Structure formats: structure tokens, C-alpha cells
Amino acid sequence: VTAEKGGYEHFMLKEIHEQPKAYRDTMLGRIDHANHQVVLPELKLSVEQIKNIRNVHIVACGTAYNAGLIGRTVIEQFARIPVENDVASEYRYRSPIITPETLVIVVSQSGETADTLAALREARANGAHVLAITNVVGSSIARDADDVLVTLAGPEIAVASTKAYTSQLIAFYLFGLYLAQVRGTMNKEEVAHVLAAMEALPEQVEAMLGQADPIKTYAEHIAKHKHLFFIGRGQDYAVVQEGSLKLKEISYIHSEAYAAGELKHGTLALIEEGIPVISLVTQESVMEKTVSNIKEVKARGAEVLAISYEEHAAELLKSVDHVITIPKTLPILTAAISVVTLQLLAYYASLALGHDVDKPRNLAKSVTVE
């Protein structure tokens, strides 16, 4: 069994460490370096269809849904197409407005999630073109979709999804750029700039994985708590939603992820002496605002960790109790780096509490009932 785990104690840790390879494999053959562009010859979606897309619905469950939240910001920023995110189990029952100009993107690691499959069928029956982002080529979702963009994360065994999520992010970056090229919303230099930053991601993540000790120490500290909060703005808010899910799923510590600016509309009532608040602070355009939200919770006794870039550490330490630094990338790509810290945090918290990291209670790897 240890051999299967490649020398790692758990599949989850092995899969966290496989992320640099998953990023490279998912990008492989999809970047035309000579012309600084993304090539996705596997897609049937025509240039004409892409030009006509009026709106995008991203539909998925759990961690795949959280990847879709990043997908939304990527498609909106790169291609300027309006995007809505839906939880698959809700999508069908809200009579979504679907036209032939609607592109529906379903995201699923396994390709077998019943709710996601049902949403896909509903979308197709209503005339949408459906693109599946999945990790399993022969899956039901891959077979039923009009188009498939495969993530090359390799088999994911741990119930808690890690490398599948980050490979889905890579797929969204590639697809977002592809839409932008066709629709002319980004020029060659802009695309080249993003591609160069994307290609640096695997090495940046490798460097992080070699410096996990501060995360382990902090995880052992939060393992003593029953409740905690995550806060962030923009992309950071989307990433902390994934971090909170991961922590709940395997450590059974209750946490909530909040948009930093939304705390004062109710949740602040729950902040009491010593409660951990984990703030993800990578979006420089809103950093000052997040820092004022941090001060709001500090003033009520919270103990705050900030996850940010080295260059902001000294300044942040004036307002928070701990800082963990991560490598810097473009604001739009930051999730592919910052989430790794939150995955490790969940892993080490679960380990410290003696839980079954790879097989958390009550959960299945693939949920095939609606």
C-alpha cells in the first residue's frame, strides 16, 4: 500500500505533491509557443459559435463548483462574457434561462456525479452547447457532453479533491484565453504574458511544497479549535470557500468562508476571544479594504493568520498574529498557488486530530445519487 502511495503516508499528500506534474500535463500540447496562443483542437465548438456566445453557466458540485467560481472570474476577465455559477443540484429546479447562445460548462473530476450529469442533460435538452471539464475520459459526463476538455491530473484516490481542482483551474485558464483569442478581447502580448505566468506555476508550487513546516505548525494549532473563519475578497474569497470545504471534510472542524466585507453584516457577532480567522490576502487592488476587515475582527479578539506575498508580510504583521507567505503570480492566477497552502492546512489538521485523511466519515469519492 505504501508503494501505491509512492512513499507518502496518505493518497491526499501524494496528490497534493503531484500538482506540479498535473499542471504541466494539463498544459502540455495546448500552448503554441511560437505563436503565443492556446490551441484546443479537441473542441468541436466552432469559431462562429464562440463569437455568438451570449452567456455562460458553470455547473458542478463541491470542489468542482469551487473551481467554477474561479472559472467565472477568468472567463469574465479574459473574454468579457457574463458567467453564472450554479450548484448542480439546484440548477435544474430554477428553470435557468438557456438559449442556443448559452454555453454550459459542467465540471466534474469523476465524470459520474449524478447531479452534474442530470444538469448536463437538462442543459442539452434546452438547446445549450455543453462543454465538460473532467478528469475521466470515458465517464458518463464526458460521453454525454458536446465537448470535453480533459484535465490530466491522473487518478485521484483521496476523497478530498486536490490535484483535480487545480487542474480544473488550469483548464479554465486555457479555455478563457482561447475564448479571448477568438473573440479578440485580448491581444497577443496580453495572452503571452498570462501564458508565461502559467508556465511558471509548476515550479512555484514545487518550491512551496518544500516549505510546508509553518503550515503544519499552524494546522496543529488550529486543531485545538472547534470553529473558525476564513475571509478573502475577489479570487481570494473563491479560494477560501474551497479551503473551508477541505478543512470541514477531513478535519471535521467547523469553518465558514466569508467575503471579507460581508462579515460586519451579521457574522461579526460570532467573533469572540481567541477564535482563529484565516485571511487570504493576495489581491493587491483590494488589500487595504481587507486589512480594515482584519482590524474589525482583531478588535473583537480574533487571532488572525494572513496568507500573502513576502513583500506584504512586514506590513501585515502590524495587524495580524501570524503570516504565511506564498510565491507571487498574476492576480488572476493566484488560486493555483494559494489553494495549496489551504490543502496542506486541512491535511495537517486532520492528521493532528488522528482522522482518516483519505476516507473521511459519511463521504464517498463519487456521488452517484441525486
Chain residues in the site for ligand AGP (CB under 6 A): 61-64, 108-110, 113, 116, 159-161, 249, 366-367
Q: Which is nearer to ligand AGP, 134 or 283 (CB)?
A: 134
In angstroms, what is the minimal distance from the CB of 288 to ligand AGP?
33
In angstroms, what is the minimal distance from the CB of 15 to ligand AGP?
11
Paired sense of beta strands 303-309 and 322-326, if any: parallel
302 Cβ neighbours under 8 A, 6+ residues apart: 229, 271, 274, 275, 276, 277
269 Cβ neighbours under 8 A, 6+ residues apart: none
In angstroms, what is the minimal distance from the CB of 64 to ligand AGP?
4
Which residue type sits at 189? E
Angle of the 188-209 helix axis to the 335-352 helix axis, nearest 10: 20
Q: Which is nearer to ligand AGP, 110 or 181 (CB)?
A: 110
The SS3 of residue 172 is: helix
In angstroms, what is the minimal distance from the CB of 314 to ligand AGP?
35
**Distance from first CA to last CA of the chain, Å, rounded?**
33
In angstroms, what is the minimal distance from the CB of 52 to ligand AGP?
28
Q: Which is nearer to ligand AGP, 108 or 308 (CB)?
A: 108
Grid cell for residue 85: 455559477
Give the Cα separation of 299 and 151 in Å (integer). Answer: 44
Q: Which is nearer to ligand AGP, 159 or 177 (CB)?
A: 159
Residue 365 is a catalytic residue = yes
Give the Cα separation of 129 and 147 in Å (integer). Answer: 8
In angstroms, what is the minimal distance from the CB of 302 to ligand AGP?
27
Give the Cα separation of 187 and 212 in Å (integer). Answer: 38
Q: Which is nearer to ligand AGP, 113 or 255 (CB)?
A: 113
Q: Could you tell me if 110 and 136 are in contact, meaning their C-beta atoms sit under 8 angstroms apart?
A: yes
In angstroms, what is the minimal distance from the CB of 262 to ligand AGP?
23
H helix count then E strand count, the chain: 14, 12
Could you list the beta-strand ranges (E) of the chain.
31-32, 37-38, 55-60, 83-87, 102-108, 129-134, 147-150, 227-232, 254-259, 276-280, 303-309, 322-326
Grid cell for residue 29: 500540447
The SS3 of residue 329 is: coil
Q: Which is nearer to ligand AGP, 281 or 335 (CB)?
A: 335
Residue nearest to ligand AGP (CB): 62
Q: Which is nearer to ligand AGP, 118 or 287 (CB)?
A: 118
Give the Cα separation of 173 and 196 in Å (integer). Answer: 12
Annotated active-site residue in 21, 248, 295, 365: 365
Q: Which residues are catalytic?
A: 365
